[in-house]
């Protein structure tokens, strides 16, 4: 796939559960709805997919089923991170065997490695696969921030192709474009600021909100990439309260609450994530209505 294949909105899919565990039928429905809504790609088993509470068997099955249902219609960027390099290598290799188009690898959490440790971690993963590798930088969750200087080193490795940037720092795409080169693919990991991120040179967004409003999110980023910021701002005004409402409780519980109201999956989350607190329901549903995505 070319760099162009990784532009636009990529939905960070929820993982629906049933009494038996992973709800495959509901997941297939969600994938089909996303593709019909016009998203540009899918990201199974990322943070929104509750990957930290899935077994390895479940993790691998979610990726395999996503690839099976998608049938090549849009790219699949499979979550494949761990705070153990050996475990991440196993997950990356499975993603390749399952037919994913790329992998998304979070910076190792809890360990708090040095910048050299981060470089060696990603270098080892790149050697373990022929797939394009995206670095996932989310210091608010991992307690480690990969520097632009380290990213510049990683960008020299041919199959490390870009980043999911969830720092919220809109200066980063400008600096990375200078340090990592024009071919470096930059995807925002923050729906709230994705419009600004694209305006600064980003190529799209890995989105939570598109679980609920795939068409509007796809249209927003498409308009931004075309430089039509009048239309992009109009869509952002529709979506901004939803962007925020989906994080009024621990994610993805608000998203699953809305999807359950839509009849698309159960509200079930896995501990330590609890179901969305009822005190937030009215605020979330008001934001859904404003976005034009009423259940």
pLDDT in tens, 59-75: 999 999 999 999 999 99
**What is the per-residue pLDDT for 4?**
55
Tell whether the model's pLDDT for residue 35 goes beyond 80: yes
Q: What is the pLDDT of residues 276-290, one digit of tens each?
A: 999 999 999 999 999
Q: Domain locations in the chain?
A: 3-228
Tell whether the model's pLDDT for residue 3 goes beyond 60: no
Tell whether the model's pLDDT for residue 1 goes beyond 70: no
**What is the per-residue pLDDT for 221?**
98
Per CATH, domain 3-228 is 3.20.20.70: yes
Assign 5 a pLDDT band (cuts: 50, 70, 90). Answer: confident
Q: What is the pLDDT of residues 113-149, one digit of tens each?
A: 999 999 999 999 999 999 999 999 999 999 999 999 9
**What is the 3 state secondary structure string of the chain?**
CCHHHHCEEEEECCCCEECCEECHHHHHHHHHHHHHHCCCEEECCCCCCCHHHCCHHHHHHHHHHHHHHHCCCCCEEEECCCCCHHHHHHHHHHHHHHCCCEEEEECCCCCCCCHHHHHHHHHHHHHHCCCCEEEEECHHHHCCCCCHHHHHHHCCCCCEEEEEECCCCCCHHHHHHHHHCCCCEEEECCHHHHHHHHHCCCCEEEECHHHCCHHHHHHHHHHHHCCCHHHHHHHHHHHHHHHHHCCCCCCCHHHHHHHHHCCCCCCCCCCCCCCCCHHHHHHHHHHHHHCCCCC
Residues belonging to the active site: 136, 164
Q: What is the pLDDT of residues 157-175, one digit of tens each?
A: 999 999 999 999 999 999 9
Q: What is the value of pTM for the model shown?
A: 0.96
**What is the per-residue pLDDT for 20?**
81
Mean per-residue pLDDT for 71-97?
A: 96
Average pLDDT, the chain: 96
């Amino acid at each position: 796939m070319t760099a162009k294949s990784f532009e636009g909105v990529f939905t960070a899919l929820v993982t629906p559960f049933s009494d038996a565990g992973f709800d495959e039928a509901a997941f297939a429905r969600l994938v089909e709805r996303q593709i019909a809504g016009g998203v540009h790609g899918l990201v199974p088993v990322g943070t929104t997919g509750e990957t930290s509470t899935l077994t390895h068997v479940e993790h691998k099955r979610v990726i395999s089923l996503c690839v099976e249902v998608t049938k090549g219609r849009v790219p699949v960027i499979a979550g494949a991170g761990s705070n153990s390099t050996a475990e991440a290598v196993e997950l990356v290799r499975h993603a390749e065997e399952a037919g994913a188009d790329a992998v998304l690898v979070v910076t190792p959490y809890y360990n708090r490695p040095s910048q050299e440790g981060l470089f060696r971690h990603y270098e080892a993963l790149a050697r373990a696969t022929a797939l394009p590798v995206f670095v996932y930088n989310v210091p608010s969750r991992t307690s480690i921030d990969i520097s632009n200087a380290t990213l510049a080193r990683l960008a020299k490795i041919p199959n490390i192709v870009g980043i999911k940037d969830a720092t919220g720092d809109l200066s980063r795409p400008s600096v990375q474009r200078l340090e990592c080169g024009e071919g470096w693919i930059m995807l925002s990991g923050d729906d709230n600021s994705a419009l600004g991120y694209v305006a600064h040179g980003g190529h799209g967004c890995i989105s939570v909100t598109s679980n609920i409003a795939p068409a509007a999110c796809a249209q927003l980023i498409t308009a931004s990439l075309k430089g039509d910021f009048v239309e992009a701002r109009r869509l952002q005004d529709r979506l901004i309260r939803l962007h925020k409402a989906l994080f009024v409780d621990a994610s993805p519980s608000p998203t699953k609450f809305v999807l359950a109201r839509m009849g698309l999956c159960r509200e079930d989350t896995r501990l330590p994530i609890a179901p969305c607190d009822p005190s937030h329901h009215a605020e979330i549903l008001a934001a859904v209505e404003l976005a034009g995505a009423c259940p």
